Chain A
């Protein structure tokens, strides 16, 4: 992973001239009559592993879509390093330093593993389209340098043997890993993971948990982890927020949240 550390934890701290990496301030979002997010506020700091849990339909994915500006909140503000992201285009949120994986895998199905992760390098690559079209000097060199970063990520995620396979044919758990790799390739400050272990067996879940912790600890990348059940989250998160029907019903360190009567009620109510 060494070469991926273009901006180490120390550098990230040194660059810092803001209070919180991300601040979500009383965001509301409705689709017609359906209120998806109903006044949610929270903040995430550098290097923090922040978890959002809640039953299906609670509004977790919608929160991510607001951060990426795929959805535009009706009210409230979202500030990245002190500046609002409202009004940006989704691709501009990527350039700020947000990367994301999707609840329903959104890999590029006609590309192989290497190409998918290389696409994640898009904003970090240093070539114009015509330098790529000529494939001489600069463009060629840029492709190879970024290919090295991709290989580091492939090593890190232990997916070497699937390197040249079209992603559509890979097992589900591996696809999830490739998607994590693609997000990691963006060299982000904040990683948004939408249900990264949904549908995985125990072993795959443990692998994924290990990768997530390594990303936080070795690379110092802040993570927001969305899950709909508590298991994994309570073990690895620094802080947890519980949402239900678009509202925050609890927030704090895992031990506190776990014993919050509101949370117990919401989860017992669901099952």
Chain B
């Protein structure tokens, strides 16, 4: 922050996405770090054991998968944020559009087999996984646009149930509840040729010296797409259309009198958000590999809503923080559980501290249960759900701006450091 950091001399700078040099540099470095993650693995570069120094565990298959999932959930949540955060329309139907995107991808992208599949390349099925839900969103929106607030929540809730019913019964597409179906591999082809131009799920060498695992490539692809989706979401927010959305959210009558066509813009918000949901749904299905119709249920919608709320409705950085939180939390809770178990087993000071909250067998009472079914207490999964729920309630009550609000406060604190004014 040299010179006069907030002095701007033209409108381009004033309306820029990243407002200061420091911000741009920080964002650039962070992005560089994210790009380098797969290269933290030993032997990632060249022939020997060389790699980029960094936390190696991040380059492991499980963490790369987790980070890919984070990006996918962020895309879905960015879409919901446009509809709910910007345009103020509460929707519980996001899971329906994600499922629709997934099955669109499955039908268009998978080769012919037991289930219906057309076998088209990724540059057809991935955009269509967004466009079909967007089109369905437009068809449905006249019903949804007429109702407000809680009523809209209920209408969109209906959508999830109808969706689940339809998926269960269209078993020639979805495979039904028993077996589910496979989704197309993330491979780039010109058309239907045997050999893929680019296989994003098998390990291989890029540019002759970057040795990447399948998970690494998948992760990089998701990262690129997430960055693109973030930029578009940010542009929507700062341009005419985003202001129209916010105007409808804040004062619908005033917005109309300013010339904003409420019906048109609500429909548009629906369509854009469904596009995001559809693409994210398709990628989620591809990442998971095999899904059953029940995966696209209310719980998924709630998870996405949780991201938007925990992050702080309306803010894009908030959505990213919320996604990190919601996707990484189960993993951290699990690691925490393992840590508890290990230290309890190994004895020592930690064991005495942890013992009261652990329940390891019958007769032992504790909050956290490491041997489900045998001892009382909460399992790791239940603990997870509980933490989610409590956090959402806590954020709604104490910090309506979510993680974003917390971040702004921390940032403002450090801006003033060492002066606490």
Which A residues contact B (CB, under 8 angstroms)? 68, 70, 89-91, 93-95, 100, 102, 106-111, 115, 118-123, 125, 127, 129, 132-135, 139-140, 142-144, 147-148, 182, 186
Contacts and interface: CB of A to CB of B under 8 A. Distances in A.
Interface stretch (B174-182, B260-268, B292-300): B260-268
B86 to A, nearest CB: 10
A265 to B, nearest CB: 35
A68 B235 contact: no
Interface stretch (B106-114, B237-245, B321-329, B385-393): B237-245
Nearest to A119: B243
B257 interface: yes
Given A119-B255, A144-B11, 6 more contacts: A91-B261, A119-B246, A121-B240, A122-B243, A133-B239, A135-B238
B197 interface: no
Contacts of A110: 246, 250, 314
A139 B11 contact: no
B251 interface: yes
A222 B137 CA distance: 42
B150 interface: no
B253 A106 contact: yes
B258 A143 contact: no
A140 B240 CA distance: 10
Contacts of A93: 257
B241 A94 contact: no
Given A129-B236, A132-B235, A122 B250 contact: no
A115 B250 CA distance: 13
Nearest to B250: A108
A119 B254 CA distance: 11
Contacts of A95: 259
A120 B261 CA distance: 13
Contact of A129 (B14, B241, B251, B254): B241
B239 A143 contact: yes
| 8 closest residue pairs by CB, A with B | A132-B239, A94-B259, A123-B259, A129-B241, A106-B254, A90-B256, A135-B235, A108-B250
B339 to A, nearest CB: 42
A70 B239 contact: no
Contacts of A147: 11, 14-15
B232 A133 contact: yes
A122 B239 contact: no
A111 B243 contact: yes
Contact of B11 (A119, A123, A129, A148): A148
B349 interface: no
8 contacts: A106-B251, A108-B254, A119-B246, A122-B243, A127-B239, A132-B242, A133-B235, A134-B232
A84 B97 CA distance: 42
Residue among B14, B240, B253 having the largest count of chain A Cβ atoms under 10 Å:
B240
Interface residues of B, number: 30
Contacts of A123: 258-259
Contacts of B236: 129, 132-133
Nearest to A135: B235
B410 to A, nearest CB: 20
Given A143-B239, A144-B11, A147-B15, A111 B259 contact: no
Given A127-B239, A144-B12, A119 B247 contact: yes
Interface string B213-238: 00000000000000000001001101
Nearest to A102: B254
A45 to B, nearest CB: 22
A32 B344 CA distance: 73
Contact of B246 (A70, A89, A108, A132): A108
Contacts of A70: 253, 256-257
Nearest to A142: B240
A107 B258 CA distance: 11
Contacts of B242: 132
Contacts of A115: 243
B189 to A, nearest CB: 27
Contacts of B241: 129, 132-133
A132 B257 contact: no
A143 B15 contact: yes
Most buried by A among B235, B251, B259: B259
Nearest to A145: B11
Given A110-B246, A133-B232, A186 B258 contact: yes
Most A CB contacts (10 A, CB to CB) among B12, B258, B262 go to B258
Interface in B247-293: 247, 250-251, 253-262, 268
Contacts of A109: 250
Contact of B239 (A91, A107, A139, A186): A139
A114 to B, nearest CB: 9
Contacts of A120: 258
A204 B254 CA distance: 24
Q: Which of A94, A95, A122 has the most chain B CB within a 10 Å cutoff? A: A122
Nearest to B6: A164
Contacts of A125: 240
A143 B240 contact: yes
B229 to A, nearest CB: 11
A91 B259 contact: yes
Contacts of B268: 129
Nearest to A163: B14
Nearest to A140: B12
A176 to B, nearest CB: 14
Contacts of A129: 236, 239-241, 268
Contact of B257 (A90, A107, A127, A133): A90
A165 to B, nearest CB: 14
